[in-house]
Amino acid sequence: MELNSSSCNAEEISTKRCRTCLHFQLRWMIFIFLFAFLFSSAAAYDPLDPTGNITIKWDVISWTADGYVAVVTMNNFQMYRHIMSPGWTLGWSWAKKEVIWSMVGAQTTEQGDCSKFKGNIPHCCKKTPTVVDLLPGVPYNQQIANCCKGGVIAAWGQDPSASVGAFQVSVGLAGTTNKTVKLPTNFTLLGPGPGYTCGPAKVVPSTTFLTPDLRRKTQALMTWNVTCTYSQFLASKNPSCCVSLSSFYNDTITPCPKCACGCKNKNCIKSDSKLLSVAGVNTPRKDNTPLLQCTTHMCPIRVHWHVKLNYKDYWRVKIAITNFNYRLNYTQWTLVAQHPNLNNVTEVFSFDYKPLVPYQSINDTGMFYGMKYFNDLLMEAGPAGNVQSEVLLEKNQDTFTLKKGWAFPRKVYFNGDECMLPSPDTYPHLPNSAPVSSTVITSIITASVIYLIIMVIT
Ligand SMILES: *[C@@H]1O[C@H](CO)[C@@H](O)[C@H](O)[C@H]1NC(C)=O
Ligand SMILES: *[C@@H]1O[C@H](CO)[C@@H](O)[C@H](O)[C@H]1NC(C)=O
Ligand SMILES: *[C@@H]1O[C@H](CO)[C@@H](O)[C@H](O)[C@H]1NC(C)=O
Ligand SMILES: *[C@@H]1O[C@H](CO)[C@@H](O)[C@H](O)[C@H]1NC(C)=O
Ligand SMILES: *[C@@H]1O[C@H](CO)[C@@H](O)[C@H](O)[C@H]1NC(C)=O
Ligand SMILES: *[C@@H]1O[C@H](CO)[C@@H](O)[C@H](O)[C@H]1NC(C)=O
Ligand SMILES: *[C@@H]1O[C@H](CO)[C@@H](O)[C@H](O)[C@H]1NC(C)=O
Ligand SMILES: *[C@@H]1O[C@H](CO)[C@@H](O)[C@H](O)[C@H]1NC(C)=O
């Protein structure tokens, strides 16, 4: 990013030519800034969860005659992005000719070519094994702690105790000391779809374990970590949800943007179609292709934000989430919203709520999720395919206004993916007030710039 201002000396600066060059440099700076901005959102960085990641830790717990036994633990440190059914798939490449003798709490999807082994046959001989979790209810002798959940891992912010998965692997034809072990490479993680990128394995200080009676500490013989981060950009080129808006002060319902989730090459089925009564229409497909209800937005999920009431000291918002996919139940769904008044949530009805404070000074983001056994399951499209809640917020008289779309959210995420908002000029507006002006856009840009600055500083 060389600005090359030395080419403009004092004498030249008055000439027209150098003024053009300054102008060009300014444009160039703006371009670089915009590029950095775009790039930062494309890279695996989520401003609402800047440290979110999934860490995969390998603890070598014993050396064997020809290798080692390791416990592999996956911790989901993401506040609001979980791994939903059908669960995670983990892959890596062995650095040498390693094989997997056996596994507990997980299995590889393919054994590969083990023909050179006589007698004892390994569990997997592939150079790049692909591992999946076992289903709940496997025999006890195939389980270890935190395994066998069908690959489902909760979000850290929702249920830290369920945000972990684990299995044990016995590796052969490998190094048998911490000097000769070669770390696996090229880790890949599907959760269950694409979106995660994993870094290289790094040796870290050995994990210490406490015995159940807390009276003795043991230590892994060697530990390495792999960190995987999520990028919505990698997961899919289109959004997977959209937002619609309405208010008590205007009859207009601002719908989701047209084709918010992409209309190209998408099949759908009308909500009154006779095909819906055919048995098996709801059965999920192996590749998870959705069966969408036909809508103008073509999103599997719509979040509706309704400004319902305006009291003297409080105001009330109704939030409804609708599923338009006939082939998917969303288990343990999460909804994240960003709004300046979320620093003063008084009560949330029928959803659980937790403020997210990624930057100590800004308390404008929170996550909503279903109450266990009540509405933590968002059912397939149809009459039962929605969940809703109301939120009571205490006004801060200095900032509260119904003008300029202030009462609507700045950002909405469903299951960790950002939802497309309508364009600000279509927001329902107060009678006799100008439509949402560009100040909303400006403030969004300002907020983004602040995040960018914070990101650069930290
Ligand atoms: C992964 O997440 C944890 C918990 O938020 C954080 O402490 C750690 O620094 C993160 N790791 C990376 C490489 O971002
Ligand atoms: C390795 O991962 C574990 C979680 O699995 C985490 O607690 C630990 O801090 C990580 N170590 C490093 C050095 O990142
Ligand atoms: C390997 O083991 C030796 C002792 O057996 C220890 O001193 C050393 O720190 C270990 N190295 C690593 C990378 O764990
Ligand atoms: C890891 O992946 C890269 C690129 O896909 C490939 O070039 C390399 O050979 C792989 N390494 C191993 C050990 O398979
Ligand atoms: C969703 O859950 C309900 C109740 O558990 C079940 O009857 C239905 O088959 C499920 N639908 C899908 C698409 O899995
Ligand atoms: C953020 O706001 C919520 C109310 O919405 C409050 O309960 C919480 O304590 C606040 N957190 C911080 C760090 O200010
Ligand atoms: C919540 O609103 C009340 C009333 O305006 C105000 O006094 C209080 O400071 C607000 N709390 C926060 C955390 O902004
Ligand atoms: C309601 O909002 C819409 C969209 O911004 C606007 O076109 C319409 O004039 C508003 N209605 C009234 C009564 O102000």
Cα of 330 from ligand 6 centre, angstroms: 28
Task: Name the residue at shortest CA distance from atom 11 of ligand 3.
Answer: 178
Q: Closest Cα to atom 8, ligand 3: which residue?
A: 178
Which top CATH class is 54-234?
A: mainly beta
- pLDDT band at residue 280 under the 50/70/90 scheme: confident
**Could you tell me how far CA 21 lies from the centroid of its own chain?**
44
The distance of Cα 332 from the centroid of its chain, to the nearest Å, equals: 13
Looking at residue 368, what is its pLDDT? 97
pLDDT number for residue 435: 53
Contacts 24+ apart (CB under 8 A), 216-223: 220/59, 220/60, 220/61, 221/60, 221/61, 221/62, 221/63, 221/68, 221/178, 222/59, 222/60, 222/68, 222/178, 222/181, 223/57, 223/58, 223/59, 223/60
Judge contact between 55 and 227, C-beta under 8 A.
Answer: yes
Helix axes 438-457, 16-42, angle to 10 degrees: 80
The pLDDT-based confidence of 432 (bands split at 50, 70, 90) is confident
User: What are 294's strand-pairing partners?
Assistant: none
Sorted by where each begins, the domain ranges of the chain are 54-234, 238-273+284-457
Weakest-pLDDT range from 40-54, 356-370, 400-414? 40-54
In whole numbers, what is the pLDDT of the chain averaged over residues?
87
pTM passes above 0.95: no
- Residue-level pLDDT at 212: 87
The pLDDT tens digits for 103-123 are 999 999 999 999 999 999 999
User: Residue 81: what residue type?
Assistant: R
Say yes or no: do domains 54-234 and 238-273+284-457 share a fold.
yes
* Cα 153 from Cα 90, distance rounded (Å): 13
**DSSP-derived 3-state class of residue 12:** helix
- CATH for 238-273+284-457, options being 3.90.1150.10, 3.40.50.450, 2.60.40.290, 3.10.20.310: 2.60.40.290
Task: Categorise residue 421: left if φ over 0, alpha if ψ from -120 to 50, beta otherwise.
Answer: beta
Residue with CA at minimum distance from ligand 1 atom 8: 51
Three-class secondary structure of residue 425 per DSSP:
helix
Which has the closest alpha carbon to 52: 18, 76, 86?
76
Pocket of ligand 4 (CB under 6 A): 93, 185-186
Does residue 227's CB lie within 6 angstroms of at least one atom of ligand 1?
yes
SS3 241: strand
User: What is the pLDDT at residue 400?
Assistant: 95
User: Does the C-beta of 357 come closer than 6 Å to ligand 6?
Assistant: yes
